[in-house]
Structure 1
């Protein structure tokens, strides 16, 4: 590489690298909607303020609540939780990203959260809500002046994994559910759709794609088989896909494996030995009520806290490579 190219690469690195913060700040916001109640959004961001422990659902985080943000032109990561979850299900991953210089905005999906399951099978609602969150964060939120609109990533788990793939350009074909559920009626997705058919107004809804999404992490993506090869061709952003080898909720090869098999572009595919479905969620720090014990139960031999140290580092590394490091000098995957 010539001296001029080396100097240019050094300049790009200096201007593109987000601030490595001492800590993570945290706040909850309300994203307004014109004809519906506001959307609950948890936001993590870099700060130099001193943190303190804070419980969040069944897990905990060490953050500086309401502290000032540091840095500018920061990359944005939007997060989409799984069926019946809420914005805080991946708080430790969000905290790790914030400490690495990202702003993370995680929504509680309207109609598909732990309080309200009225639209749990209205799958087109989800990418539309994620795209609306991106627009609000960049254009209207209290942090809009601190964000770089050209560096946006999306992280999703389970139904959220499906969400980020669709939002990034994937075109699912939900008619594939019929044959799938004839073969696997006991799978969670089939039992959910049998007990809660999709609302009539969602059946003709169009899939919302957001070209602002420049990198995608999908952990244990639900309904992966609905995309097929043709349905994944619209995804041009780099993708990291995670599979739990012992996934008891989305078992077999119809989900993460189907995405891996049908996504013909190079991508980062990782299978976690001995992991169950909910091991991608933040480790529990409190004893859950009996009806939620499954969220915290890892297989014998898997240390969820240790796994999350590796998982969070890999997610942070992927988004850093794709959204921060200059493409001509970034390490390849």
Structure 2
């Protein structure tokens, strides 16, 4: 993974100065209410962690424990499609142990329990769902007094990266995605077709392309530009984002601190059409990390077990990828970015170049 040398010094100084006075990672799950879907919250806690299980995942957390003092900063994570909170546990733990509170809204009809409306229908809702998650913590007695809601951070990966770019000031249109897919359907096939099928080089590929193109032309005829920002969010990391449908000019000079994470061997969202395309036009974006041997799932930890064959092909690790070392280093890099960008103005470290 490529890291600017200045990051190493920044990481050691900042993480070393944020020694936690708490013992564990706490977790509470807020149920749906009339204005918001479920929100899972991770935070510094003093109570002893216990082993818990959610679906096929096991983890040690202090469930429903009282929050301990942290650094008073909130990070909201927008999950991928159709993901759960559990595939971000390693990043979440790194953030919490640095003092952050982390909130993860469940995106309606684009999550591990219900994946009936991925893509543009979800992308229209997702940024608003992030804002409502912030509102939930602002109105919650456990967190309202301990967090500074004027300087919130946000992280999103894949479809969550699309959410991140929207909240960074980007505007997107379904019809722009249609144009992209008409021009690059073979080269960026899974961004356009999802997990419905795959090109194999066989005699059925021509039929698959025709079917996918017909669906795209029918479903992506909306020429409306969609956008939503939240002034409370001032620092954003977009990891391997879905980005082919954005107006490049809208992300030339984002009003927030925006950083991108890329993976060279991403087969789901080919970098040159997505993350690299944003970096090419964004004058103030920080290329936070590049994973030369990583695929799309390099930003997920832990990976979901028992994946379907096509899913495993698209998000499984390429041969030779050192998951333990690379993911740990990436999570520390993301955490250091938020420590730097969400600090009070007088305490902020200079941006690495």
Fold match by TM threshold 0.5: yes
User: For 1:150, what is the secondary structure of its paired residue?
Assistant: coil
- Report the Cα offset of residue 226 of structure 1: 2.6
Query: What aligned pairs does 1:259-298 form with structure 2 within 5 A after superposition?
Result: 259-284=278-303, 287-291=305-309, 293-294=312-313, 297-298=316-317
The verdict on how the C-alpha distance between 1:141 and 1:88 changes in structure 2, with shifts beyond 3 A counting, is farther
Residue 324 (str. 1) matches residue 343 (str. 2): yes
2:266 aligns with 247
The verdict on how the C-alpha distance between 1:33 and 1:156 changes in structure 2, with shifts beyond 3 A counting, is same
- Compute the RMSD of aligned alpha carbons: 2.8
User: For 2:104, what is the secondary structure of its paired residue?
Assistant: strand
Between 1:104-113 and 1:182-191, the stretch displaced more is 182-191
The verdict on how the C-alpha distance between 1:218 and 1:68 changes in structure 2, with shifts beyond 3 A counting, is same
CA distance in 2, matches of 1:55, 1:301: 30
- Report the Cα offset of residue 18 of structure 1: 9.0
1:213 aligns with 233
1:309 aligns with 328
Query: What aligned pairs does 1:118-157 form with structure 2 within 5 A after superposition?
Result: 118-121=116-119, 122=121, 123-140=123-140, 142-157=142-157
User: For 1:162, what is the secondary structure of its paired residue?
Assistant: helix
The verdict on how the C-alpha distance between 1:272 and 1:57 changes in structure 2, with shifts beyond 3 A counting, is farther
2:94 aligns with 96
The verdict on how the C-alpha distance between 1:80 and 1:57 changes in structure 2, with shifts beyond 3 A counting, is farther
The verdict on how the C-alpha distance between 1:234 and 1:134 changes in structure 2, with shifts beyond 3 A counting, is farther
Task: Pick the aligned partner of 1:70 from 68, 92, 95.
Answer: 68
User: For 1:163, what is the secondary structure of its paired residue?
Assistant: helix
CA distance in 2, matches of 1:175, 1:141: 43
Between 1:288-297 and 1:249-258, the stretch displaced more is 288-297
User: For 1:175, what is the secondary structure of its paired residue?
Assistant: helix
> Which consecutive unaligned segments of at least 5 residues does structure 2 have?
1-13, 195-211
2:191 aligns with 189
Query: What aligned pairs does 1:32-181 form with structure 2 within 5 A after superposition?
Result: 32-34=33-35, 39-71=37-69, 74-121=72-119, 122=121, 123-140=123-140, 142-181=142-181
> Which consecutive unaligned segments of at least 5 residues does structure 1 have?
1-12
- Report the Cα offset of residue 19 of structure 1: 5.1
User: For 1:27, what is the secondary structure of its paired residue?
Assistant: strand
Between 1:246-255 and 1:16-25, the stretch displaced more is 16-25
CA distance in 1, matches of 2:73, 2:33: 22
The verdict on how the C-alpha distance between 1:31 and 1:144 changes in structure 2, with shifts beyond 3 A counting, is farther
User: For 1:225, what is the secondary structure of its paired residue?
Assistant: coil
Note the alpha carbon deviations across 1:230-279, whole angstroms, 9 max, x for none.
11146211112011110010114011101111111142342101101011
Q: Which has the higher strand share?
A: 1
Between 1:309-318 and 1:52-61, the stretch displaced more is 52-61
CA distance in 2, matches of 1:56, 1:99: 21
- Report the Cα offset of residue 205 of structure 1: 7.7
Note the alpha carbon deviations across 1:23-57, whole angstroms, 9 max, x for none.
211121124125xxx51221100112222333445
1:18·1:75 contact (CA, 8 Å) conserved in 2? no
Note the alpha carbon deviations across 1:119-139, whole angstroms, 9 max, x for none.
212121111111121222223
CA distance in 2, matches of 1:125, 1:147: 25
- Report the Cα offset of residue 98 of structure 1: 0.9
CA distance in 2, matches of 1:111, 1:205: 22
2:175·2:223 contact (CA, 8 Å) conserved in 1? no
How many residues in Structure 1 have an aligned counterpart in Structure 2?
A: 313
User: For 1:320, what is the secondary structure of its paired residue?
Assistant: helix
CA distance in 2, matches of 1:184, 1:175: 14
